Structure 1
Amino acid sequence: MRILMLTEGTYPYFKGGVSTWTHDLIGNLKDFDFIVAAILPTPFYTPRYNMPPNVLGLLSIPLWGMEMVKEFSHEPLREAIQRRLKTKESEIRDDFAPYLRDFLRTLKGGGTSPKVMAEALYGMHLYLREHDYKKAFKSKHVWRVFWEELAEDPLYGHIDVSSLIETSRVIQHLLRILAYRFPEVDLCHSSAAAFCGIPAVLLKMEYDVPYLLTEHGVYFRERALDAVRGASNIVEKILWMNLFRAIVRLNYHYADKILPVCHFNVDWEKELGVPADKIEVIYNGVDLNRFKPMNIPQDDVKRIVVMARIDKLKDILNIIDAMETVSEKHGDAVCEIYG
């Protein structure tokens, strides 16, 4: 069996809990072959893991730092030139822009129709894998779609023009994943309900490949926190939250099984429309040879233990604020953070 393992900002380029989980999973499933498709910020990273021998290949998908989408994928120059030459304005208008419009319309509503979004992504994918990505997104027809769907929208038109242009550019970079060809496999397994799950949706639509989704953190929750802290005004925040909500709903809809690592995630998944019979909690395993109960002298201290790295997504500042309230009622309480 060949499995396409899909990651985003984690394995094999960055160390962390999800990367460790991915590495251990692949390494322990020796009878299965894996191809890793990894989304990363730029192409200027090197793998931090020595991948197991059952990894047949690594497809790296940088979203930034490249003039041409497949600049670092060793695509023959002749093929790149041919794709550029056959990318015509009339085809962009007729065969690409309508799908982009459907995508943006679905995005604006937070992805209430995952099937429409999937068809839009698949249509753009079929076009971009045969044509030049850069030329397509520079087309006046594409920018007209962005303008009509965002700047002329009754709500999103309140975002200033410079921010709308920058938002459109970011969306273009996020959609670079659509320009790649993905191998036909027996199973897709994504480590997040994120953009890295889009290839699984595309392969399900084209070959009916089963899709397994493991949620470590709640992607929508994490992106919502980023949007609230980063966007300049309320309408811009709504736009970004609807984009992330749409991508998450897309993954939830097309995944055959959703496997969160804890019950906390289940509440978020149900809130976003996932039926209960589609969810099965599978906790992260513990290596009992490395971690086992120890005989430690007990004391009477009220101790709160937090297992988390020092990162804004882990809400450490809220823990500190909460401890002030706790200490008012329990003066001897302490909080220990490990991570």
Structure 2
Amino acid sequence: MYVPYDARRPSSGVRVTLLTEGTYPHSHGGVSVWCDQLVQGMPEIDFDVIAVTGTGREPLVWELPTHVSRVLSVPMWGDPPAGREPRWSARAQLGDAYEEFLTALLDPRAEARFPQALYVLARAAAGRTLSPFLRGDKAIAILTSVWNRPGLAVREAAPSLHDALTATSLLEHALRPLAVPLPRTGVTHAVSGGLATLPGLAALDQHGVPLLLTEHGVYLRERYLGYRIAPYRWPVKAVLLGFFRLLAQESYRRAALITPGNRYNRVWEEQGGAAPESIRTVYNGVDPTAFPPAGPEPQGFTLSWAGRVDPIKDLETLIRAFALVRAQLPYARLRLFGGTPRGGEAYRERCGALAAALGHADAVTFEGRVDDIRDAYAAGNVVMLSSISEGFPFTLIEAMSCGRATVSTDVGGVREAVGDTGFVVPPRDPASMAAAALELLGDPERRRAMGEAARLRVIDRFTLRHTIDTFRAIYRELPTLQRESERIPVLAEPRVAVAG
């Protein structure tokens, strides 16, 4: 199941295991850039990576330095982990723990049982019995029994056998990261919430390895947004969203330190149970010398955008806003730079169809990945960001470093990044976005002044050197920050770890 990268000679120093999901080192994007910055910026620290991936066949797209010792790929949709169902009393114990786990997901009165049950499942995963158990009939029967109990809200939705099969399968896939070989020393650093935290929580519980959690976007919020349009009935959504919510709470509660990329995330983390003293904001940074002033603006009126083509970037709102801009400026253009991730082709086609339906297919161009991202920022008089969810977006502070005026949606840490050096508008509001873009396009002097102020703001607050130095210090001090507390008791010694 686990796909190791060729081992490289580690350097001396602290050992950090990065925990990623769908990003570094198998994918491009802002979080991957951030991971690469950390790794490249600290050659004296030994790094490993546990990467939650799709199939396990994803190639490495980042060149790894020699102090990255290994990469373990955890395929969510590849072959299941090897192992056998436990037998006799071990099977009964695992069944009891799974029933407690599901009850916590579905019954608000039982949520306190979640941590204990999760760590029993984690030990079963280490013993290679969890995944086979979840693929068996008993797991289906347990879920069917739990969500049909009198008094549970999910019962009113009349869960079907198909719902039970679907929910159990999704949970089996979601829990696969628990079966990865766990680090026993050093520090684990989850670079997002959610599934990436599972090996870190298990390593903390079983070996006392401190967990550092960095959230760029809010993982739980993005799951809520995504499941609004997911093709599942409510009983399935109730199970999965219950899991993500309680997993977020447990991650916030047990992380030795939480380093959100903006202050907006802190609200979610504190409401999710994080102690305020365990939260320390660390902004993303760029190297201003790598993103110098972009130079002369393009001829004509051009809006540019850079990122991955994904629903969370809400290009449909941007295209609708551009249609309003073009009603006032008929020769305006919208240039979209960035790749379409695997599985996102339908969304890319939908955006292209929208531009055509609005009569602007000739002026909206999808230009794919660009060799030098600075060219994407230089291509526009104004750089746009239309996302419905962000952390502290690299594309925004890179464009600011390049001296371009920006129009961005008020999500995540965008307002913290921009300050008064650009326009910030409500998300999913084409009219407001168009009005801001038109105001800047019509005032070259204001664009210039905002662009200059934006670059100075980056130099003053958001440099890569500061980010790297902060995390270097955190890695060295984190073992001393680990709260001294007894591990959560389990129901019994993990006999479930032995397949009979």
Using the size of structure 2 for normalisation, the TM-score is 0.57
Take 2:271 and 2:306, find their aligned partners in 1: how far apart are those partners?
A: 26
Aligned partners of 1:93 and 1:142 also within 8 Å: no
Take 1:289 and 1:110, find their aligned partners in 2: how far apart are those partners?
A: 52
Q: Aligned residue for 1:208?
A: 208
Report how far residue 119 of structure 1 moved: 2.3
Report how far residue 295 of structure 1 moved: 5.8
User: Of the candidates 18, 28, 33, which is equivalent to residue 41 of structure 2?
Assistant: 28
Q: Aligned residue for 1:80?
A: none
Q: Does 1:127 align with 2:124?
A: yes
Gap change, CA 1:112 and 1:155, over 3 Å in 2? closer
Moved more, 173-182 or 14-23: 173-182
Take 1:264 and 1:307, find their aligned partners in 2: how far apart are those partners?
A: 23
Q: Does 1:37 align with 2:36?
A: no
Take 1:188 and 1:165, find their aligned partners in 2: how far apart are those partners?
A: 33
Gap change, CA 1:53 and 1:328, over 3 Å in 2? closer
**For residues 247-286 of structure 1, what are the structure 2 equivalents within 5 Å?**
247-286=247-286
Report how far residue 22 of structure 1 moved: 0.7
Report how far residue 101 of structure 1 moved: 1.5
User: Of the candidates 61, 67, 70, which is equivalent to residue 54 of structure 1?
Assistant: 67
User: Of the candidates 9, 12, 15, which is equivalent to residue 2 of structure 1?
Assistant: 15
Secondary structure at the aligned position of 1:310 is classed as coil
Q: Aligned residue for 1:228?
A: 228
Gap change, CA 1:126 and 1:243, over 3 Å in 2? closer
Report how far residue 242 of structure 1 moved: 2.1
Report how far residue 91 of structure 1 moved: 2.1
Secondary structure at the aligned position of 2:72 is classed as strand
**For residues 66-145 of structure 1, what are the structure 2 equivalents within 5 Å?**
66=79, 68-70=80-82, 84=84, 87-94=86-93, 96-109=94-107, 113=111, 116-145=113-142
Q: Aligned residue for 1:311?
A: 310
Aligned-residue identity in percent: 25
Take 1:123 and 1:46, find their aligned partners in 2: how far apart are those partners?
A: 33
Take 1:204 and 1:38, find their aligned partners in 2: how far apart are those partners?
A: 18
Aligned partners of 1:218 and 1:268 also within 8 Å: yes
Report how far residue 283 of structure 1 moved: 0.9
Q: Aligned residue for 1:177?
A: 177
Aligned partners of 2:214 and 2:260 also within 8 Å: yes
Take 2:110 and 2:273, find their aligned partners in 1: how far apart are those partners?
A: 10
**For residues 237-252 of structure 1, what are the structure 2 equivalents within 5 Å?**
237-252=237-252
Q: How many residues align?
A: 317
Secondary structure at the aligned position of 1:197 is classed as helix
Report how far residue 152 of structure 1 moved: 4.0
Gap change, CA 1:186 and 1:13, over 3 Å in 2? same
Gap change, CA 1:52 and 1:150, over 3 Å in 2? farther
Take 1:317 and 1:263, find their aligned partners in 2: how far apart are those partners?
A: 27
Per-residue displacement from partner, 1:150-193 (whole Å, max 9, x unpaired)? 34463223233312321111111111222232121211100011
Report how far residue 232 of structure 1 moved: 4.2
Residue identity opposite 1:207 in structure 2:
H
Report how far residue 233 of structure 1 moved: 4.3
Aligned partners of 1:260 and 1:279 also within 8 Å: yes
Q: Aligned residue for 1:79?
A: none
Aligned partners of 1:260 and 1:281 also within 8 Å: yes
Moved more, 172-181 or 131-140: 131-140
Residue identity opposite 1:264 in structure 2:
Y
Moved more, 132-141 or 38-47: 132-141
Aligned partners of 1:10 and 1:19 also within 8 Å: yes
Q: Aligned residue for 2:217?
A: 217
Take 2:129 and 2:243, find their aligned partners in 1: how far apart are those partners?
A: 25
Secondary structure at the aligned position of 2:69 is classed as strand
Report how far residue 308 of structure 1 moved: 4.8
Gap change, CA 1:295 and 1:16, over 3 Å in 2? closer
Aligned partners of 1:69 and 1:133 also within 8 Å: no
Aligned partners of 1:187 and 1:211 also within 8 Å: yes
Residue identity opposite 1:252 in structure 2:
Y
CA radius of gyration, larger in: 2
Residue identity opposite 1:141 in structure 2:
K
Aligned partners of 2:29 and 2:307 also within 8 Å: no
Moved more, 5-14 or 41-50: 41-50
Take 1:252 and 1:103, find their aligned partners in 2: how far apart are those partners?
A: 18
Secondary structure at the aligned position of 1:146 is classed as helix
Gap change, CA 1:245 and 1:262, over 3 Å in 2? same
Gap change, CA 1:109 and 1:262, over 3 Å in 2? farther
Report how far residue 131 of structure 1 moved: 3.8
Aligned partners of 2:81 and 2:128 also within 8 Å: no
Take 1:193 and 1:111, find their aligned partners in 2: how far apart are those partners?
A: 24
Report how far residue 50 of structure 1 moved: 1.9
Q: What is the CA RMSD across the aligned residues, in angstroms?
A: 3.1
Take 1:89 and 1:165, find their aligned partners in 2: how far apart are those partners?
A: 24
Report how far residue 203 of structure 1 moved: 1.4
Report how far residue 271 of structure 1 moved: 3.0
Take 1:146 and 1:249, find their aligned partners in 2: how far apart are those partners?
A: 22
